[in-house]
């Protein structure tokens, strides 16, 4: 019950006061399956890209973090080809930094920040990470091309 009322409150806030560049909605009548879109920030290789994400809210939420993954392919050192995201707030301690005081809005904002500032020292994609570190121009070019190819669809 706590989960359902908290999710309703969070979704209502995400609808009325969404963080800039982020939209989130319920998938049909499934309360535990959400969809989100993140706009690529200006001055990043993801600029003008619209990235779709899937959010699965576990039974134990908020004591366990939601599972979030990219549905839109993205060229990024911290996001793998299956859309999984390497970000500490998406994992439980001791390895992660998830706390029940965090919410879906905070997570989506953190993911948006990760797009703007990749963490090449904690990569999921080692090859993209070393490209980011040692050949930034090539990384930026590849990331822009992927964004144009995969993330330039219509906004919800």
Catalytic residue among 53, 86, 104, 151: 86
Give residue for tokens 């899937």: 54
CB distance 153 to 50 below 8 Å:
yes
The helix/strand count (H/E) of the chain reads as 4, 4
Is 86 marked active-site?
yes
Q: Which is nearest to 22 in space by CA: 80, 108, 89, 93?
A: 108
Helix (H, G, I), strand (E, B) or coil at 119: coil
CA distance 31 to 14: 14
CA distance 51 to 74: 8
Active site residues: 86
């Amino acid at each position: 019950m706590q989960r359902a009322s908290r999710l309703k409150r969070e979704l209502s806030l995400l609808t009325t006061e969404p963080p800039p560049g982020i939209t989130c909605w319920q998938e049909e009548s499934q309360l535990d399956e959400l969809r989100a879109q993140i706009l690529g920030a200006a001055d990043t290789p993801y600029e003008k890209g619209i990235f779709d994400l899937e959010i699965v809210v576990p039974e134990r939420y908020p004591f366990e973090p939601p599972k979030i993954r990219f549905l839109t392919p993205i060229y990024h050192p911290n996001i793998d080809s299956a859309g999984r995201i390497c970000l500490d707030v998406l994992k439980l301690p001791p390895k992660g930094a998830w706390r029940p005081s965090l919410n879906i809005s905070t997570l989506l904002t953190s993911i948006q920040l990760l797009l703007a500032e990749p963490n090449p020292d904690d990569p999921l994609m080692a090859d993209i990470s070393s490209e980011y570190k040692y050949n930034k121009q090539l990384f930026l070019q590849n990331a822009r091309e992927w964004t144009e190819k995969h993330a330039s669809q219509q906004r919800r």
